Amino acid sequence: MPRFDDLVGVAQGAGTAGPQIAHSGSIGAFLFDPAAPDHAQAVARAEKELSASRIDDCRH
Tens digit of each residue's pLDDT (9 = 90 or more) over 10-26: 999 999 999 998 888 78
Q: For residue 23, give the amino acid letter.
A: H
pTM score of the predicted model: 0.77
Q: What is the pLDDT of residue 1?
A: 62
For the stretch 37-56, pLDDT in tens is 999 999 999 989 888 888 76
Q: What is the pLDDT of residue 54?
A: 84
Residue 21 backbone phi and psi in degrees, to 5: -120, 135
Q: What is the pLDDT of residue 37?
A: 94
DSSP string, 1-60: -TTHHHHHHHHHHHT-SEEEEEGGGTEEEEE--TTSTTHHHHHHHHHHHHHHTT------
- Residue 59 gets the label, from left (phi > 0), alpha (psi -120 to 50) or beta, of beta
